[in-house]
Chains A and B, each alone.
Chain A
Amino acid sequence: MAVSSSSHEDVHNPALLHHFATEEQQRDASNLGMWIFLGTEVMFFGGLFCAYLIYRLLYFPDFAAASRTIDAALGGTNTAVLICSSLTVVLAIWGAQTARRGVMIGCLILTMVFGLAFLGIKGVEYKQKFDEHHVPGPSFNFENVPVPGHPDQMANPRHAQIFFSLYFIMTGLHALHMIVGLGIFTWLLWAAWKGRFTPEYHTPLEVGGLYWHFVDIVWIYLFPLLYLIDRH
């Protein structure tokens, strides 16, 4: 890891921090740092997935009944929205790499629009659940909902409440991560506007992009697990 001689030797890129020997080392460190952070996020959500896995196996019929009451079309739409936003993220980075400022800024804005759309659709879903008294707590009601495939057997409301608890906590935590992501991208948009990113240096975009993709991946799993337990 010797100091490499680059054309920037005498005039340091102001973004190069003093404790790094080269820009490449700094970029590699930032990248590795974000990937490790995403690893911690996987474990963070992982605990919830563990709880979900266990209760889904134990209370499958009740989970299936509860899952049917959330709107899979909205969930699917949201999945598509996030997939599009991941595309715009990579396009924004490509714009930075190829010095296409318009593409970079336009795609950053589009990413945020998709993110806001996601949150909006989520809000609609939550409102639906609130109106149907499926929010866990004192007003929760899940009486007389038949188990899929057994119209004479009613789902256990207590087990359904566990489903909805996990549903709200998992999607809520995910939405919180989206909001943080929007905050990050607001800053990235501002920095891009100010011309801070060049083909040689756009590490914050890459690192922010990694975070955004991770949030997308979490949703890629949440959608089938929560919305599509038993739809036949």
Chain B
Amino acid sequence: MTTTAHSLAGTVAVEQSAVDRVPWTVWTSAIATISVVTGAVWDISWHISVGRDTFWTPPHMLIQLCAAIGGLTSLYLILRTTFTRDETVRANSVRLFGLRAPLGAFLCGWGALTMLASAPFDNWWHETYGLDVKVLSPPHAVLGIGAVAVIFGGFLLIMAPLNRASAALAGRLETVFMVLIGFILLSAQADLIECSNRALMHSSIFYRCFMFPFPVYLMIVRSVVKRRWACTTTAAVYMALSMAQEWVLPLFYAEQKLGPVYQRVPYMVPLGFPVLIIVPALLVDLLWAKLKDWNGWKKGITLGASIFVAFVAAQWLFANFLMSSWSANWVFGTHYQLYMAPPGSPGMTPEFFDYEKSRAELALGMGIALITAMFTSRVGLTVGTWLRRVQR
């Protein structure tokens, strides 16, 4: 027993000297995340600009690349770790059904298999219920869950070495982590396109939607990254990426391949100007020093409420600007139209749409959004704290 412990300690020491290099799995994880998010944004823009697609469109290939990278990385790590006699490698792994690999590798493989399983399901869905006209459908959800698993598996492959790393390496890995969370926030904006129209920004539905993913990711970043302005930096990355798609996509020509065409739209339609998540992110960073030692629920409730209040205050006012003629330009892009929406239809004009039919309904919806923000903040803190402890 003593010999074994001594031997393991030795292998860990050897491994410690090797971790100053950024592991290759960090880069595969980064490529998988960036490819799937870029693919998703491009694919949604394709659907609302061109309309028709095939399995072989470039955005679909980018999405599938995520599955391929996740699956192959997973397969390699599982085979290598299971059958190697290198104790250094085995020491950094967990056991699952007789196989050994880093935890992130198993999650990546699970995600890739889930994405694969979504393909026949989606095909059957088209044949039974018709070709997709919605982003959110059960087979797409399965695909999304798979992609999220590949991304989080990648996070684990980043976090395990980060938690064992020297300060210099940890700094570099934290940078990668914040950039990737920035991409994921962009992905969340894409997924929520059906409720992110400026016309809904004075309705609770907008805030109920965004309070699902955004607090989770802000709290994960806040828990994982030790830098003072971690959330602000991540939100800035998201804003930059989102503005990039807003400014770049319309530069490309598009022609509609699906009818009915209600108006000609000769450009690729972007997702919309980024939401002002940077305001609550800044507030979280400011509050974090005082709150970080509070217990989880107290912290989650306080930060969740702060995020909600700051986000509503910023976005509500910003929505007024988005309804003005000052925003109908390439910077803010509120003049872009959709071919499948007749000119002048709700959402296409600078007028708010009353999704809730009364003030009481609005207040109730806002209350739900507030509670959602508190809960998802707590979830984010739990996940972030756990990620900070992952070793293998």
Binding between chains A and B: no
Query: Which residues from chain B sit less than 8 Å from chain A, CB to CB?
Result: none
